[in-house]
Structure 1
């Protein structure tokens, strides 16, 4: 069991790494396309690339688990995950139009606090060491992302609501991941979230083929790696990981985003940001022994 726990945590760390590297791709992609357009295409792409993976995995396991025989838990879990993912990613993307990336990064990562708070309502109380990790991670995220005074603008409120969407996403996965095939549920969530985004794209935006093609590389990265690979790793890994620990590990996305900005874009890290990174890593190490 301990081996499975560490394996799950390593998969979540890889998930955070992929999401952190996707920051540049997502920033570039939405420069030419609206939030619904970018999210719709990348989410549908994430679902489509998983379909052949499902067929391959079934052959490797010598099973024939058709979609019709998958059971109501898969359809319910995948649909709820898709709705939560659609809400979180949409609110976050719109919020970024009215607030800074630093504030958005910190506010989104507040799911690291919201997850254990929500679990209190179902009688699951994290230990003191885990609570200490949560607090340390929140302080580290503040040092890493915040610049200047903290005040809630329209964009901040939208991103904060998006953080609740990501919180719900983590908790829904925690509930259903033990009951269903993880890759199928991941595929279904992308198809649900992507379809909703595409409908909104045609209702509220004017998609342009040249604009979409000009953002081809960012969309492919965000769709195949950030969605298809990373979110699927999240679903599979959470089978063996406490959701509070999972949220702590995944919020390292912001740390990796800063590091990739430093390595690939030449963005300098201040002493405050370096301290924030250090505190985040210490929080993750503490959580492993909670």
Structure 2
């Protein structure tokens, strides 16, 4: 399946929003005086997203098998968010963005392990994007424990991308989004309780600034992105989606520069250019080839969904 322009555009919007979450998460959980622990930050953003999304699914039929699919997806999604939040407690926004973008390597590897072919163009663009992410975010300091936690995010999120590709075309977007939000909140609740009980993190410092940040994370950066990602990956294969997601460090670095004063420099701008080149080329070439072959119609975003998004 070639990526559709609409799906590519939707996933780029998702990635732009994700770029803001590094700054927001760092502000919430970073440092010894952080207002929230990683468990509390993850739980509350998904609990808020669940409550806000619930009116869209109340009274609708529950598709058969949706909760099993949701449990599968939400575990990998929770693992990705959790390891990234823990990592941001110890590492910088730029380094977190780079290590997270390593999922661009793991997705095609998992695709090959699943017995499917990955084109040579994808592998070339993976290398270009990876080189760009390294130039963009490497700050010259030694690796730290936060980098290791974030590497876990790259692996688990790559698995999530692959699983979402499978389920996105079997269930309606609404039902799949709701199942994932509920699942991640459920996985995060015991983590938050254990964090407050055994680490002394408490239940959070709920200042007005923290409340605004967690509401943004819940409604925009969680509810909206989870929904849009499920729509976008109906018409964008996992390996192509992972390349689009490598633009995340570009957005994250821009926001880090604006809010935390983290500088990009010449290498950073060069890296950003390589990432954008890889993302554009990986999507444009297959779409041009499809039109040249006489199949210019893009697949419907909801061709297999049981209801509209």
TM-score scaled to structure 1, two decimals? 0.88
Report the counterpart of residue 90 of structure 1 in structure 2: 82
Point out which structure has higher relative CO (alpha carbons under 8 A, 6+ apart): 1
The Cα offsets for residues 236-266 of structure 1, whole Å up to 9 and x where unpaired, read as 1000001011011122121111223345666
Matching residue of 1:58? none
Aligned residue for 2:116?
124
1:273 corresponding residue in structure 2: 268
Q: Give me the whole-angstrom Cα distance separating, in 2, the residues matched to 1:27 and 1:98.
A: 9
1:40 paired residue number: 43
* 8 Å Cα contact 1:134-1:283 kept in structure 2: yes
Question: Which of 181, 193, 197 does residue 172 from structure 2 map onto?
Answer: 181
Compute the displacement of 1:53 (Å). 2.9
- Alignment deviations for residues 204-230 of structure 1 (CA, whole Å, 9 cap, x no partner): 225436436551111011110010001
Report the number of matched residues.
Answer: 277
Q: Which ranges in structure 1 are unaligned for 5 or more consecutive residues?
A: 56-63
Deviation of residue 132 (structure 1)?
1.0
Moved more, 35-44 or 243-252: 243-252
Q: Distance in 2 between matches of 1:165 and 1:285?
A: 25
CA apart distance, 1:157: 2.1
Residue number in structure 2 paired with 1:12: 11
Q: Let me know the Cα RMSD of the aligned residues.
A: 2.1
Task: Say if 2:145 is the partner of 1:154.
Answer: yes
Q: Deviations over 1:40-96 (max 9, x none)?
A: 0001112222222335xxxxxxxx7422xx111x21221111111111111122223
The within-5 A match list for 1:1-290 is: 5-30=4-29, 31-54=34-57, 65-67=60-62, 70-72=63-65, 74-149=66-141, 151=143, 153-205=144-196, 206-208=201-203, 210-211=205-206, 214-263=209-258, 267-288=262-283, 289-290=285-286
Q: Matches of 1:274 and 1:204 in 2, distance apart?
A: 39
Q: CA deviation at 1:150?
A: 5.5
TM-score, structure 2 length as denominator?
0.83
